[in-house]
Amino acid sequence: MLELKDVSKIYRIGAFGRRKLLAVDRANFNIKDQTVVALVGESGSGKTTIGKMILKLISPTSGKIILDGEDITKIKRRRIKDYYLKVQGVFQDPFSSYNPIFKADRIFKMVHDSFFPEVPQNEWRKSVLKVIEQVGLNPDEVLNKFPHQLSGGQLQRFLIARALLMKVKLLVADEIISMLDASTRVDVLNLLVDLKKEGLSVLFITHDLSLGYYISDEVVIMYRGGVMEYGPTEEVFKNPIHPYTVSLLEAVPTFEKRWEEDIPAVSIEEEKATPVVQNESQMCKFYWRCNEADPEKCQSPGFKEITPGHFVACSRR
């Protein structure tokens, strides 16, 4: 359904934009129909930048983002509404998505006025009530409330309901449960799984490996703007190949083990100084922290298919 081909994003930083920051470097992966893809990586790895490019909030510096065969980076302003009928986003802080002086359900009126003005109000009202119930909320309890009168989980469900009203094909969910309590997190995750069964695809952006494993069919591991490994979730988590993926999984706490002084730390090198921008002629992005780094073999590796659908960017594998 959606495919990223060599997508890169460079930001201008510093005084007068004299320096460049390579936020995303030649990212390649795809999201199939009715699939949840977890985009995983530490802070600053480029996850949110990819989400913003897919949502056309920012433009890629190079590369293509293809939805149903069309390069959406070339879509002009007059067609942007058509695109947003297919792709919508939900972000980390639900409160920032609402104007506090208006009632929270105003977002449904805005969808009607902007995208479906021809739909009669009584018919639209029925659609709103239906999607509110579909995301597990009681309309009598949540409608006509101000944002501060609702919980973060309820506000996130409102945003998901908005996407359902628009009958979108892809939902970009950027850290949508990181500000929610544990019980609400599970409810929202299960809601996304149920919506996937009904035909929705989800790009689930997170830094939490356990959440990515719980919800996703496929996973993309990012480091410093580059895709290190991607493939079926079970395959990547149970047979990690890239040294960075291995180190991430080693760092995940487990219920079976409490912290003790004699538990060894995760084996990973302290990062050496690196340039702000790396180009194709330089080392693999993880070279500067990898315990297996070899200057003779770690020159900007391409992807290798280890097993069907499981790709790794490591020349040592």
Return the CATH number at 6.
Answer: 3.40.50.300
DSSP category for residue 98: S
Q: How many CB atoms lie within 10 A of CB 261?
A: 4
| Distance from the first to the final alpha carbon of the chain | 30
Question: Contact, 300 vs 281, CB < 8 A?
Answer: yes
What does the alpha-carbon distance between residue 175 and residue 12 come to, in Å, rounded to a whole number? Answer: 25
Q: Give all strands (DSSP E) within the chain, no chain letters.
A: 2-13, 19-31, 36-40, 62-67, 70-71, 87-90, 170-174, 201-206, 218-223, 226-232, 304-307, 310-312
**Over residues 137-142, mean pLDDT:** 88
% of the chain residues with pLDDT over 90: 32
Least confident span in 161-170, 183-192, 218-227:
183-192
pLDDT score of 255 more than 80: no
269 Cβ partners below 8 Å, 6+ apart? Answer: 288, 289, 290, 291, 293
Contact indicator for 298, 220 with CB cutoff of 8 Å: no
| 8 A C-beta contact, residue 290 and residue 243 | yes
pLDDT surpassing 70 at residue 182: yes
Q: Is residue 105 part of a domain?
A: no
Phi and psi dihedrals of 3, rounded to 5? -135, 135
At 50, is the pLDDT very low, low, confident or very high (cuts 50, 70, 90)?
A: very high
Q: Residues 192, 214: contact at Cβ < 8 Å?
A: no
How many domains does the chain contain in total?
1
Check if the beta carbon of residue 254 is closer than 8 Å to that of residue 247.
no
Given a contact cutoff of 8 angstroms between Cβ atoms, the answer to whether 246 and 291 are in contact is: no
Collapsing DSSP to helix, strand or coil, 258 comes out as: coil
**Roughly what angle, to the nearest 10 degrees, separates helices 121-134 and 106-115?**
130
What is the mean pLDDT of the segment spanning 66-73? 90
Mean pLDDT score, 256-280: 50
Q: How far is the C-alpha of 317 from the C-alpha of 314, rounded, in Å?
A: 6
The answer as to whether 312 is a domain residue is no
79 in any annotated domain: yes
Containing structural domain, residue 223: 2-86+168-238
Helices 121-134 and 152-165, interaxial angle, to 10°? 130
Compare 270 and 163 and report the one with higher pLDDT: 163
Check residue 5 and give its pLDDT. Answer: 92
Interatomic CA distance for residues 224 and 201, integer angstroms = 26
